[in-house]
Structure 1
Amino acid sequence: MAHWQPQPKIITQKIPNQHIFLYQGFAELINDDKIIEGKVFIKISWHPSPNINFKFTYFGEDRIGTENQDKLELKLTELVPQHRLRVYISSSTYWGNKKNQLTGHLIEPFFKGTTNNLASVVFHLPNFWWFNISNHFDDEEDEEGNLVEIEREGWLMFDGQFIFDYDNWHIVLSTLDNCYELQELLESEGGYGVTHICKIERLDKTTFTLEEAYQIIEAFSYYLSFVRGIWIAPLLVSGFDSEGNQLLEEWRNPIIKGDSWQHGNRWSYLDSTTEIVAPFAGFMKKWQDPTWKEVIQNAIQWYIESLKHFNGYNTSIILLQAALEKIAWTFLKVNEYVTSDGFNGLKASGQIRLLLKSLDVGLEPIEKYIEIQKKAKELNWNDSVLAITEARNSIVHPQIKSNKSEFPSEKIRREVFQISNIYLLKCLLKLFEYGYSID
């Protein structure tokens, strides 16, 4: 396969939240034996999260009932062959013989083409950050033992490309040309912007189905969301054959509800390097392990949601420590460090402390955290693990004694969040076999 294939249609936006139109033309709205002719506009809208909406307009007094929409379909008469979409009407406006308008959304995916025998799939991603570096060059030894630079598969001449390989799957993540300018607008205005495009294929060039592709798309989207610190939604999957000919176009509400632009808590120490690729193989090992998949899903979900502490840190602290305890139970049990009875006999602080020790994650010194250090002597905390679990307990089971000063204060909660966040991030990266120091 030539390295520039396939050559998909590239989605570009000049400003955040710019609609992406998928179809504009004549259509029929059908409900059982009732048919209304009109025009429809189908587009990707962005709020409250990326989704595919439609607006159907027509003239006349005909009405489509909205009380029973089980058989409601849109027939796109300008497509060849014509296609029908299952839709739901969420609002309607009628003006007698004047223009009438119905709006709604897709309720199931729409496929144009085949979902089998795909050599590659391509999709877009919003709100990932700009990078202009690449790892599609690698050093290999020639027959004489000299290191020579080998070009791994690049794609479409994009400046920034990260290549992720795992278990016969080859993933190329590329920065779109307008990403830098769009990111500047997103940082000042918020919202959504399509910043990257991604290709997935097999290293041995064998074909696959869309269902198989989605197993990788879901995993990769979770991984990028973990890296970015916000939910990243895959948009508009298309499929191609080995010659780069398009076989499939899919319209689907994203399998992940993407977040609007936030600075998040991305891995600052990996921000401008290809090191974000390094933990991916270890992540996939855990993701494909039935014992670990739900644990990893939950941990990443709670990690990302914990970063959204807009109204204080209570929820974030509870989520982070729930993730640590769930990881502790699974890791310690799988590796036979402790029995079920032994685990249940430990307090939460003991469970987390044993997890950290087993993963070789060092304890955060209390001395680094001014407010917690002040409380440590008063409340007999001997390390930061006890500090964060006691703070969590005081939120969930408040038993503040009258002779103690108010606890926990917002300043203490912030420091407890910081420590819990560090512990969860380090534990996850250790589980993903990331081999470099992350202190």
Structure 2
Amino acid sequence: MSTTDPLTGNKYPEACVPYLDTTIPNESRTLYTGEMQLSADGIDESGEEEIELSWLPRPCLRFRCRVNSRSGIEWIGARGLQVSLAGEHSHDSSTADVTSAAAFSTDELLPIGGIVESWTRGPELQIESVVAHFVNLRQFRGEVIQHDRATYVGRASLETSEWIIEIDEIYKPDFFKRLKSQQAFGITHAAKIRRKDGSAFCLDDLEEFITCLNFFCSFTNGDWCGPIWFVGVDTSGNQVSHVWRVPRVDGYRDNHNWFSPVVEKSLPGLFPGFVDLWNDEVWQESLRNTIFWYVTAMSAGMSIENSIVLCHIAFETLGWTYFVEYKKSISSQGFEKLQAADKLRLLLSQLDIPVAFPSRFSALSGYASAENHEDVATTLSRLRNAYVHPSPKNRGKLNKVGIQAQYEARTMCLHYLELIVLRLCQYNGDYSCRITDAEWRGGEVRPVPWGAKS
């Protein structure tokens, strides 16, 4: 559906409307209030209950209930409780873990609380589309959409061979600024997901796709990020099913990484190749682990040393997968015999990624020159070895490396890791480059180095 802009006369598609929104950072929302039945081995109680979408200290579905029990001993630490709700939610299925319970109660009802791990309604029902709700996804420049009288560039249309997903920024002026100032949580985007051929499907059919979306969004953000609530919609536009899952999500930061909000086609350009790599049985585990190490290395509290080590774990994993399992050009024994620098240099060379010192990284290049290093791959691997194997000789080497050179080495490691993933996903667009000649603030973009070679 589209509407006409009253000022310009242009027709723009309407933004996807969320079923649940947050207008204030860290704004908790009550999702259910009513009767609840808790069932597990040795436990079968009912009571009045509330389920809430809670953000602090970490995003989760939290429940509070008062049950007919005099002691909390049997409840403390209870896992995998089967939860039955009442009313319009009587057909929902949930599992929960108890995290708190009163030791005893002089009242008729005992208060307990905990985390709802999953909450599902009718996943087997046939649906026409799904509305997904995203937490803390960064802003991007996309297609023009309209909400009421507001017109803005806020849609990313992503496609695979099977699915179409239109991710729309929810129009909330200054919301991202408030999220950033508090490193807070909130629902930032809503998306419509449907099959490319228009056929019906079930929420269960999206299970693997949802996990893929979590990792894709996290690689884009440089922080853990993803969708939390999926609403199944039938051909008449009625909500007939839903799945609540709260993945790992970090507080909002305006991270500086490969993704630039000023590059219009970065998400649509990356997504098909990312999904293809994810669906490849040779690559999925390596891609999943690489993004975990990448996001961890990017985290605010991670030291320079640990970031460099984590990036090298990813380099080794990707190199092994590429040469031993994917290309089958090197035997497992042959790969293990290679030095770390040779593995990294060979991988970068095969993927058309330059191995050269950036002109403004004078501290790192100066240290490498003093140590007679062949190239950046040698310098980075030697630093990693010095961190991991703190012999007197390696400690002596580290004493020669200033903090600026180590910071530049971390930047190079993250730069290489981002480019390797982008190359493997066959991304050919522009990206935010960490190693520009001028000071990098996250907005400077350039074409990927492999360009027309892909």
> Do they fold alike, i.e. is TM over 0.5?
yes
Compared with structure 1, are the counterparts of its residues 378 and 309 closer, same or farther at alpha carbon in structure 2 (3 Å cutoff)? Answer: farther
How do 1:221-260 residues align onto structure 2 when only pairs under 5 Å count? 221-252=214-245, 254=246, 256-260=247-251
2:286 match: 295
Measured against aligned partners, the alpha-carbon deviations of 1:325-351 in whole angstroms (never above 9, x if no partner) come to: 211122223324434343233211111
Which of 166, 170, 174 aligns to 1:176? It is 170
Measured against aligned partners, the alpha-carbon deviations of 1:172-230 in whole angstroms (never above 9, x if no partner) come to: 1110112x422111111112111001221111111223222121121122111101111
2:371 match: 379
- Structure-2 separation of matches of 1:118 and 1:95: 46
2:276 match: 285
- Look up the SS of the partner of 2:248 in the other structure: coil
1:120 to 2:129 alignment: yes
1:438 to 2:448 alignment: yes
Compared with structure 1, are the counterparts of its residues 302 and 403 closer, same or farther at alpha carbon in structure 2 (3 Å cutoff)? Answer: closer
- Look up the SS of the partner of 1:238 in the other structure: strand
Tell me if the contact between 1:24 and 1:41 (Cα under 8 Å) persists in the aligned partners.
yes
- Structure-2 separation of matches of 1:70 and 1:276: 39
Compared with structure 1, are the counterparts of its residues 131 and 377 closer, same or farther at alpha carbon in structure 2 (3 Å cutoff)? Answer: closer
1:392 match: 384
Q: Runs of 5+ in structure 2 lacking a partner?
A: 4-12, 430-446, 450-454
How do 1:89-108 residues align onto structure 2 when only pairs under 5 Å count? 89-93=98-102, 94-97=104-107, 100-107=110-117
Tell me if the contact between 2:363 and 2:405 (Cα under 8 Å) persists in the aligned partners.
yes
1:143 match: none
Amino acid at match of 1:243: S
- Structure-1 separation of matches of 2:397 and 2:17: 64
TM-score (norm 1): 0.85
Which of 314, 319, 341 aligns to 1:323? It is 314
Compared with structure 1, are the counterparts of its residues 98 and 229 closer, same or farther at alpha carbon in structure 2 (3 Å cutoff)? Answer: same
Tell me if the contact between 2:132 and 2:192 (Cα under 8 Å) persists in the aligned partners.
yes
Tell me if the contact between 1:119 and 1:207 (Cα under 8 Å) persists in the aligned partners.
yes
1:66 match: 75
Amino acid at match of 1:40: E
Measured against aligned partners, the alpha-carbon deviations of 1:393-431 in whole angstroms (never above 9, x if no partner) come to: 000012343875714443222111101111111111111
- Structure-1 separation of matches of 2:37 and 2:276: 47
Tell me if the contact between 1:364 and 1:419 (Cα under 8 Å) persists in the aligned partners.
no
Tell me if the contact between 2:184 and 2:251 (Cα under 8 Å) persists in the aligned partners.
yes
Measured after TM superposition, the shift of residue 67 of structure 1 is 5.6
Tell me if the contact between 2:386 and 2:397 (Cα under 8 Å) persists in the aligned partners.
no
- Look up the SS of the partner of 1:258 in the other structure: coil
Compared with structure 1, are the counterparts of its residues 341 and 89 closer, same or farther at alpha carbon in structure 2 (3 Å cutoff)? Answer: closer
Tell me if the contact between 1:38 and 1:57 (Cα under 8 Å) persists in the aligned partners.
yes
Bigger drift between 117-126 and 330-339 goes to 330-339
Compared with structure 1, are the counterparts of its residues 309 and 60 closer, same or farther at alpha carbon in structure 2 (3 Å cutoff)? Answer: closer
- Look up the SS of the partner of 1:213 in the other structure: helix
Q: Runs of 5+ in structure 1 lacking a partner?
A: 137-153
Measured after TM superposition, the shift of residue 282 of structure 1 is 1.2
1:79 match: 88
Tell me if the contact between 2:34 and 2:49 (Cα under 8 Å) persists in the aligned partners.
yes
Tell me if the contact between 2:386 and 2:398 (Cα under 8 Å) persists in the aligned partners.
no
Tell me if the contact between 2:203 and 2:242 (Cα under 8 Å) persists in the aligned partners.
no
1:141 match: none
Measured against aligned partners, the alpha-carbon deviations of 1:6-31 in whole angstroms (never above 9, x if no partner) come to: 97653222221111211022445556
Measured against aligned partners, the alpha-carbon deviations of 1:65-104 in whole angstroms (never above 9, x if no partner) come to: 3168468454433336465643332212355137742111
Measured after TM superposition, the shift of residue 47 of structure 1 is 3.1
Tell me if the contact between 2:79 and 2:96 (Cα under 8 Å) persists in the aligned partners.
no
Bigger drift between 366-375 and 317-326 goes to 366-375
Equivalenced residues, count = 418
Which of 348, 355, 362 aligns to 1:356? It is 348
- Structure-2 separation of matches of 1:400 and 1:25: 65
- Look up the SS of the partner of 2:174 in the other structure: helix
Which of 308, 320, 328 aligns to 2:299? It is 308
Compared with structure 1, are the counterparts of its residues 72 and 128 closer, same or farther at alpha carbon in structure 2 (3 Å cutoff)? Answer: closer
Compared with structure 1, are the counterparts of its residues 355 and 29 closer, same or farther at alpha carbon in structure 2 (3 Å cutoff)? Answer: closer
CA RMSD of aligned residues (A): 3.2
Tell me if the contact between 2:233 and 2:241 (Cα under 8 Å) persists in the aligned partners.
yes
1:426 to 2:442 alignment: no
Tell me if the contact between 1:23 and 1:41 (Cα under 8 Å) persists in the aligned partners.
yes
Compared with structure 1, are the counterparts of its residues 242 and 364 closer, same or farther at alpha carbon in structure 2 (3 Å cutoff)? Answer: farther
Tell me if the contact between 2:26 and 2:185 (Cα under 8 Å) persists in the aligned partners.
yes
Which of 159, 169, 172 aligns to 1:165? It is 159
2:22 match: 13
Tell me if the contact between 2:18 and 2:190 (Cα under 8 Å) persists in the aligned partners.
no
- Look up the SS of the partner of 1:47 in the other structure: coil
- Structure-1 separation of matches of 2:43 and 2:357: 70
Bigger drift between 65-74 and 293-302 goes to 65-74
- Structure-1 separation of matches of 2:340 and 2:241: 50
Tell me if the contact between 1:372 and 1:415 (Cα under 8 Å) persists in the aligned partners.
yes
TM-score (norm 2): 0.82
